[in-house]
Amino acid sequence: MAPWVELRGWVDDSEVAHLYSVATALAIPSFAEGFSLPTLEAMGAGLPTLLSDIDVHRYVGGDAARYFDPASDRSLAELLAAVLADPELVAAMSSAGRARAAEFTWARTAEETRAVFEGALA
């Protein structure tokens, strides 16, 4: 995979922004995630986002992302091939991703967190 994959350590915010701007898609082939903030970052940058089909990814990505079986290399490969072959799909995912990411604001996060704490205290 060396010709196609570059393993990096920590990258700062400016490098992350650059990587999103030159990437074709972001794929997250995980079996478990916390909230998946990289999903929102990528979608906010207009990057088509391909996610393993787990609950948290469905919550964050909604209809804007595409999903694959994390236990199947073929499932991810087929989805990547579809994105690479279809500029109209890329444009649709880019637009839908930006709209989806805009739904998740820090103000909304604070409001919902406060509501959870108030409910726990009641």
Does residue 33 belong to any structural domain of this protein? yes
Does residue 38 belong to any structural domain of this protein? yes
Residues 66-84: pLDDT tens digits?
999 999 999 999 999 999 9
pLDDT score, position 34: 87
List the CATH number of the domain containing 17.
3.40.50.2000
In the chain, the number of structural domains is 1
Is the separation of the CB atoms in 50 and 93 below 8 Å?
A: no
Does residue 87 belong to any structural domain of this protein? yes
Is the separation of the CB atoms in 52 and 32 below 8 Å?
A: no
Identify the DSSP state of 36: -
User: How far is the C-alpha of 67 from the C-alpha of 62, rounded, in Å?
Assistant: 10
Give percent above pLDDT 70 in the chain: 99
> What does the pLDDT average to over 76-93?
95
Beta bridge partners of residue 5, listed in sequence order: none
pLDDT score, position 67: 97
> What does the pLDDT average to over 13-30?
92
Q: Is the pTM of this model over 0.75?
A: yes
pLDDT score, position 23: 92
Instruction: Please give the residue range of the domain that contains residue 32.
Output: 13-121
Does residue 6 belong to any structural domain of this protein? no
> What does the pLDDT average to over 38-67?
96
What average pLDDT does the chain have?
93
Does residue 92 belong to any structural domain of this protein? yes
Task: State yes or no: pLDDT of 5 exceeds 80.
Answer: no
Task: State yes or no: pLDDT of 93 exceeds 90.
Answer: yes
Confidence of residue 1 (pLDDT cuts 50, 70, 90): low
Does residue 2 belong to any structural domain of this protein? no
